[in-house]
Amino acid sequence: MPNLPVRVDRYLCGPGQPLLFIIGPCVIENEELIRRVSGELADLAAQDGLQIVFKASFDKANRTSIDSFRGPGLEKGLEILARVSEATGFPVTSDVHTPDQAAPVAKVCRILQVPAFLARQTDLVTAIAEAAAREKCVVNIKKPQFVAPEDMQHAVRKCEESGCSDLILTERGTMFGYGRLVNDMQSIPIMHSLDVPVCFDATHSVQRPGGSTTGGNREMVPWLARAAVACGADAVFLETHPDPDKALSDGPNQVRLADAPRLIRQLVQLRQLVNGF
């Protein structure tokens, strides 16, 4: 059986626990950006007593165009994330795209993230789970856009069979036809039935895939995030950037850093209401 709640460093994530935020820029554009965003989030966390895991990708391996910015790469990216964790005290997380990345990422990150497009790749999932078990990390598996929530039981079993019982499942929308993701909030209680905490990815859920670059509509992020927390999500994944229109990846979906505190505080209040039932 998976562990419930899940411990992420000093935080607890699961039903009845405070909301966990997985938040940061989509990609590591440069260290100055990462320091600015993580510093402002650290101030907010200290002020409001928030559970924050800082996220940023060292490599965006699933970009639409071959010309798109991907990030600084594994070695430099992990060095930057390690410095962020040391400076802020935040646990950190990043995507793992290939089995050979799992071990070095687990040395730095407290959550290892399985990208949605790759969550059925057995060799990748088992390598991540094995690395997480060795380093006492958590595995966050994003539900693929083409998989029913109840079928995430197979990804959970792969992790458990590989020695890892510290899991989070993330809802991030389902593809119906072309160009639009739809969120079925039933996914949250359905994945809860697998005895794992459930996270809601509010920013990738508003993506509009297609064309030379992926579009999106950040104005819908607060609406979906509030709905997900009301439906029992234990964590919220938010990408944020000081100037999303100039971001090098997923700009249309990212929440402006200046707007993040208000949304985060709304979600905390909703979580407290849900936990009161």
User: What's the average model confidence in pLDDT over 226-242?
Assistant: 97
User: What's the average model confidence in pLDDT over 119-125?
Assistant: 96
Give the C-alpha distances (Å, rounded to integers) separating 196 from 27, 95, 267.
27, 20, 20
At 214 the pLDDT is 59
| Domain presence at residue 214 | no
Q: Is residue 114 over pLDDT 90?
A: yes
Q: Where does the pLDDT of residue 161 fall: very low under 50, low under 70, confident under 90, or very high at 90 and above? A: very high
185 Cβ contact list (under 8 Å, min separation 6): 227, 228, 231
Pairing of strands 51-55, 20-24: parallel
| Domain presence at residue 199 | yes
DSSP state of 261: H
At 72 the pLDDT is 85
Q: What is the number of domains present in the chain?
A: 1
Q: Where does the pLDDT of residue 179 fall: very low under 50, low under 70, confident under 90, or very high at 90 and above? A: low
Q: Is residue 30 over pLDDT 70?
A: yes
C-alpha span between 127 and 161 (Å, rounded): 11
Amino acid found at 134: R
C-alpha span between 160 and 169 (Å, rounded): 13
| Domain presence at residue 143 | yes
Give the C-alpha distances (Å, rounded to integers) separating 237 from 28, 79, 161, 204, 255.
16, 22, 27, 9, 11
User: What's the average model confidence in pLDDT over 174-198?
Assistant: 89
Task: Please report, for the domain that includes residue 179, its CATH number.
Answer: 3.20.20.70
User: What's the average model confidence in pLDDT over 134-163?
Assistant: 96
| Domain presence at residue 67 | yes
At 3 the pLDDT is 84
Segment 70-94, tens digit of pLDDT: 778 999 999 999 999 999 999 999 9
| Domain presence at residue 118 | yes
| Domain presence at residue 216 | no
At 67 the pLDDT is 60
User: What's the average model confidence in pLDDT over 195-217?
Assistant: 80
| Domain presence at residue 1 | no
Q: Which domain holds residue 200?
A: 6-207+222-275
Give the residue, 111 or 71, on which the prediction is more confident. 111
Q: Is residue 213 over pLDDT 60?
A: no
Q: Where does the pLDDT of residue 63 fall: very low under 50, low under 70, confident under 90, or very high at 90 and above? A: low
Segment 39-59, tens digit of pLDDT: 999 999 999 999 999 999 998
At 75 the pLDDT is 95
| Domain presence at residue 213 | no
Q: Which of 51, 3, 1 is nearest to 23 (CA)?
A: 51
Q: Is residue 36 over pLDDT 60?
A: yes
Q: Is residue 135 over pLDDT 80?
A: yes
At 64 the pLDDT is 62
